[in-house]
Amino acid sequence: MKMIKGVSHITIIIADLEKTARLFCEGLGAEEVYDSKPRNFSLSREKYFILTGIWLVAMEGDQSERSYRHIAFKVEEKDIAAIGKRITGLGATIAAPRARVPGEGQSLYFYDFDNNLFELHTGGLKERLNAYQP
C-alpha cells in the first residue's frame, strides 16, 4: 500500500529572505505566495513560493556550510545559459559541474547566498536510467 502521495514542499534555510525572493522570482520565475512578516506562525520568518507546481519554503536561519544536498529543477537545454546569466546577475554563484554520462542530460549547478545548492537539469529519470545501463 502506497501511503506517501508525493512531495509536499521543500524548505531551505537562508539568511536574507528578500535577496532569496529576488533570486527565486526574477532568476527562476517562481511566484511568491506568502510572507510571514506581518504574522509569523513558524520557527522563524519565511516566504513561500510556487515554481512549476512545487511549493518551496525559504526560512530565515543560519546556513553556512556547502554540500551536495540540492534541489534540481527541470529546464530545456536551450534555456540553461539564459537562466545562468540571470541568476549570476542576481549574485548566485555557479558551481563546478560534475562529470556526466552521455545521455543523462546537462546540468548547471549554483549556490544561493546561503550555500544552498540548486541544479538546473535537462534530463529526467527515464533518460538517466537509460544512460546508466551497461
CA 24, CA 5: separation in Å to the nearest integer?
26
Report residue 6 as a C-alpha cell: 508525493
pLDDT at 126 over 90: no
In words, the CATH class of domain 10-131 is alpha beta
Instruction: State residue 3's pLDDT score.
Output: 54
What is the number of residues in the chain? 134
Please determine, for residue 7, whether its predicted confidence score (pLDDT) is greater than 80: no
Residue, of 73 and 3, whose pLDDT is higher: 73
Distance in angstroms (rounded) separating the CA atoms of residues 68 and 66? 7
- What does pLDDT average to over the chain? 88
pLDDT of 121 strictly over 60:
yes
Q: What is the DSSP string of 98-127?
A: PP--TTS--EEEEE-TTS-EEEEES--HHH
Residues annotated as catalytic are 46
**What are the tens digits of pLDDT across the range 23-62?**
999 999 999 999 999 888 888 899 999 999 999 999 998 7
Mean pLDDT of 75-94: 94
For residues 80 and 120, the answer to whether their CB atoms sit within 8 Å is yes
Query: Whole-model pTM?
Result: 0.78
C-alpha cell at 64: 553556512
Res 1: pLDDT: 66
